[in-house]
Structure 1
Amino acid sequence: MRMLLKVQMEVEAANRAIKDGTLPKIIQHFTETAKPEGVWFTALGGKRTMVAVFDLASTAQIPPLAEPFFTGLNATFEMSPAMDMAGLQAGLSNL
């Protein structure tokens, strides 16, 4: 299932992760594991934020994807199902 992910990193934890080189490793682990369609980086609410779209084949994937963000960056990790235009059109045609 296509998922929209938003990760918001606690500022001090992210600062430490940048200084010690952990931040790029956590992001690289995510991209290698989840193989996202796209990944974007921005600041939302004053926090470093990563937004990604990826396919979640099984809920068993969630802990290996989420825990590095929790433990390494004290981040929040929010996922929700998402669809593209084709998915929306298919869903609306079933109404």
Structure 2
Amino acid sequence: MRMLLKARVDTEKGNELIESGRMGDVLSSIIQRLQPEAAYFTPERGHRSCLLIFDMDDPSQMVPLTEPFFSQMGAEVTVQPAMNLEDVQRGMAAVKS
């Protein structure tokens, strides 16, 4: 299932990762693990944030996929199902039937 993961990084932990030169490595590791179809990085409400669209086959994957955000970045994380236009159109066709 296509999922949207949003992570808002704790400012102090983010600063530590940047100052130590580890932020790039942490992000690369997460991207390699998730293999997202899209990845966006933006400030949100005064915090470094990222939005990742990825496929999740099994809900148990949520633990290893989100843990680096919690343990290494002190991030607030939300994960929710997401649809693209094609998905919405298929869903609407099913409603009409």
TM-score by length of 2: 0.92
Tell me the distance in 2 between the aligned counterparts of 1:22 and 1:74. Answer: 14
Mapping of residues 1-95 of structure 1, within 5 Å: 1-95=1-95
Residues 52-94 of structure 1: CA deviation (Å, up to 9, x unaligned): 1010111221111111110111101111101111100110111
Aligned length, in residue pairs:
95
4+ aligned runs moved over 2 Å, structure 1: none
Q: Which range moves more in the overlay, 15-24 or 71-80?
A: 15-24
Q: Is the 8 A contact 1:3 1:79 kept in 2?
A: yes
Could you tell me whether the CA contact under 8 Å between 1:39 and 1:53 is conserved in 2? yes
Whole-angstrom CA distance in 2 between matches of 1:93 and 1:67: 37
Any idea what SS the aligned residue of 1:94 has? helix
SS in 2 for 1:63: helix
How high is the sequence identity, in percent, across the aligned residues? 33
Post-superposition CA distance 1:7-55 (Å, at most 9, x none): 1001011000111123222211111111100101110000000011010
> Greater CA radius of gyration, 1 or 2?
2
Unaligned runs of 5+ in 1: none
2:7 alignment partner AA: V
